[in-house]
Amino acid sequence: HFGHIELATPVFHVGFITKIKKLLETVCHNCGKILVDESNAEFADALRYRDSKRRFDAIWKICKPKRVCESLQPTDDDDMDKAKEPKHDHGGCGNIQPEVRKEGLTLTGTWKAQKGDDENEGQQPEKKPITPQMALNIFRHISVEDIKKLGLSNDYARPEWMIITVLPVPPPPVRPSISVDGSGQGMRGEDDLTYKLADIVRCNASVKKCEAEGSPAHVVQ
């Protein structure tokens, strides 16, 4: 039967790195909400797609330019003029969203101050790596309702499953040892998969040791 290796720190699944980047450009990094809602006509149209892949790509294209998770801030004008139609409340947290870049197998976020933000205007953009642990925490905040809107599945395709925390180890029959001389009687060598799993175990132990010793984050990475 299968075994498993519990990883010292989460890692991106290499096959889903592009999808992870797109999802990080679609939802808020603080509250996990989709950056637009049904009040946006394009978003409402995108929800009509029955094909989940087309729907996800359509929503991603709408959300990608968004740089803030919009929230409805009450103003004095609203209090003075009750006759006005109330603005639609997206229900967001108001946090600034980063511009996400993929460099090889790593993701980087650049947070820029918004125009009109007197408090932070003039500040240099903040650039920092988006670690698998950060992405995992963001994806865990996404609601079941938003997962369905994105064309994913709460039962079969939750976003955080694209980030590996536990690595499955196949049983020996899947990775049998091989005869070095071809006779079946002499020395035997291990399957390539077994060697790679051994490398992962060694790296995992090294990461655990670094974390226990309080090594800097860049050393652990």
To the nearest 10°, report the CA torsion of 197, 199, 200, 204: 140
Amino acid 1: pLDDT: 83
Q: What mean pLDDT is predicted for residues 47-60?
A: 93
Query: Phi and psi for 170 in degrees, rounded to 5?
Result: -70, 155
What is the three-class DSSP state of 96?
A: strand
Q: What mean pLDDT is predicted for residues 100-124?
A: 80
Give the chain's mean pLDDT: 84
Does residue 183 fall inside a structural domain? no
Q: What pTM, to 2 d.p., does this model score? A: 0.82
Can you name the residues that pair with 171 across neighbouring β-strands?
Answer: none
Has residue 220 got a pLDDT over 70? no
Rounded percentage of the chain residues whose pLDDT exceeds 90: 56
Has residue 54 got a pLDDT over 60? yes
Number of domains composing the chain: 1
In the block, which residue shows the tokens 């077994």? 194
Neighbours of 133 (CB within 10 A): 13
Does residue 182 fall inside a structural domain? no
Amino acid 88: pLDDT: 53
Cα–Cα distance between 23 and 149 in angstroms, integer? 12
Range of the domain at 33: 14-72+89-157
Neighbours of 131 (CB within 10 A): 19
Has residue 31 got a pLDDT over 80? yes
Cα–Cα distance between 95 and 67 in angstroms, integer? 9
User: How does pLDDT run across 164-188, given as a tens digit for each residue?
Assistant: 999 999 998 888 887 776 665 666 7
To the nearest 10°, report the CA torsion of 38, 16, 22, 136: 80
HEC profile for 70-108? CCCCCCHHHHHCCCCCCCCCCCCCCCECCEEEEECCEEE
Does residue 115 fall inside a structural domain? yes
Amino acid 86: pLDDT: 46
Does residue 36 fall inside a structural domain? yes
Does residue 168 fall inside a structural domain? no
Cα–Cα distance between 14 and 27 in angstroms, integer? 21
Has residue 197 got a pLDDT over 60? yes
Amino acid 198: pLDDT: 92
Does residue 220 fall inside a structural domain? no
Does residue 137 fall inside a structural domain? yes
In the block, which residue shows the tokens 């809602």? 37
Are the CB atoms for 113 and 96 separated by under 8 Å? yes
Does residue 189 fall inside a structural domain? no
User: How does pLDDT run across 148-167, given as a tens digit for each residue?
Assistant: 999 999 999 899 999 999 99
